[in-house]
Amino acid sequence: MAQTGFDGINAVIQPASLTVPRFLPEDPLKLLKQGKFMKIPVIHGANRNEGSFIFGLMYNDFMKVNNLTNDTTFLETDCIATMLRAFHIDDPTDGVTDTISNKYFFNVDTWDMDSMYPGLEDVTGLFGMKAGTKQMADWWSRAGADAWLYSFQHRGLYTMATFFFIGSHKLPFDTGVTHADELIYLFPMPLMSLLPPKDRHVSDMMVEMWTNFAKYGNPTPPEHPSEHGVPHWPTVSQANSYLEITQTPTVKHDFSQTFDIAVQSSINSTVTTTPAPTTTPSPTTTPQAPTTTPGSTMPPPATSTEYDWHGKVDSLTSERDTFRGATAGLAVVAALAVLVVIVAVVMLRRRSPVSAGEPAKSPTGDSAL
């Protein structure tokens, strides 16, 4: 997919020359701009680290296969422009490329993958998911339809990246709250159903909101107050509102604040602070368990009672690869066996004498007298 851009997921517009009824006669972008769509309530949203999924595809299917992951010349001079072309963005003057470089890579000194990754994640998330999500919500709202917008930012025990990128496709960077991670909290997922308490709380809130939306056309209807502490979720038309979904959901404004979230997080993580003075606890002091701030995006600490789902997925991946290898080996052996049988049959037929009493055949096929 990433080798030639993302054309494979573009809409197929059916020409007027078709003799069968057409489902999509015009470009969806044109129809949306003209307001030619059903004005029904819609929830729009994107995840905190959407770009980790999109860039992950580019990394595995384009950069690795072309040996570009450690090519500092490519990373510094051509990487941004190459990504823009994948999103159908033509930039003959390098104006867009320079603007992106100044906003998302201003703190990069060494043009290597580790230094560039936060910016690469943000840029691909922006063009691949977040900007389009925001634009769709704005169009819906301007057309007079109810539109809700969310940014899912809760980082729990599980992530869909474990299934997206397995085996040799496992990524060397942290995927964060990646594409489709919110589905873990809405639907039962294989190997991901045993949610710890904090994740269960997020799941309860999301199921409540999505169920309300399906029943009442509103995720937080005033006549049905939340049983899990969810605040009122206003529509986009109300001061460009969106809901930041964490353990403690918060209503915020200006969704574009999520467009450079990986870069900002990377900068904040490198800021050094003077450590507080430490004291040696007295023998009677009871050690305190580490605390986390509500809404924190850090994953919960592993405990001995948690289900080892990472190990299970790795085990399944190994079993799959072993099965594939064994299957391929058996197929080769079976093919050779069939070939040997065919050769043996042909040789036996050539060597078998003419049966007694059966007239010999002439070269022309007639019986010889």
How is residue 325 written in tokens? 């290898």
Residue 237 has pLDDT above 90, yes or no: yes
* CB of 183 closer than 8 Å to CB of 189: yes
pLDDT (mean) for 83-97: 93
pLDDT, position 248: 98
pLDDT, position 319: 56
Q: What pLDDT band is residue 299 in, cutting at 50, 70 and 90? A: very low
Task: Give the DSSP letter string of 6-61.
Answer: SGGGS--PPPTT-SSPPS--S-HHHHHHTT-S----EEEEEETTHHHHHHHHHIII
- Of 146, 345, 162, 127, give the one whose Cα is nearest residue 237: 146
pLDDT, position 2: 43
For the chain, the first-to-last Cα distance in angstroms comes to 71
How is residue 308 written in tokens? 């080892």
pLDDT, position 3: 44
Using CB atoms within 10 A of its CB, is residue 168 exposed (0-12), middle (13-18) or buried (19+)?
exposed
Note the pTM of the prediction, 2 decimals. Answer: 0.74
pLDDT, position 270: 79
Poorest-pLDDT segment among 45-54, 262-271, 311-320: 311-320
Q: What pLDDT band is residue 336 in, cutting at 50, 70 and 90? A: confident
Residue 241 has pLDDT above 80, yes or no: yes
pLDDT, position 67: 97
Q: DSSP class of residue 221?
A: -
pLDDT, position 181: 97
pLDDT (mean) for 41-54: 97
pLDDT (mean) for 139-144: 94
How is residue 303 written in tokens? 């405990």
Q: What pLDDT band is residue 278 in, cutting at 50, 70 and 90? A: low
CB hemisphere CA count around 182 (13 angstroms): 21
Instruction: Report percent pLDDT > 90 for the chain.
Output: 61
How is residue 80 written in tokens? 């941004």
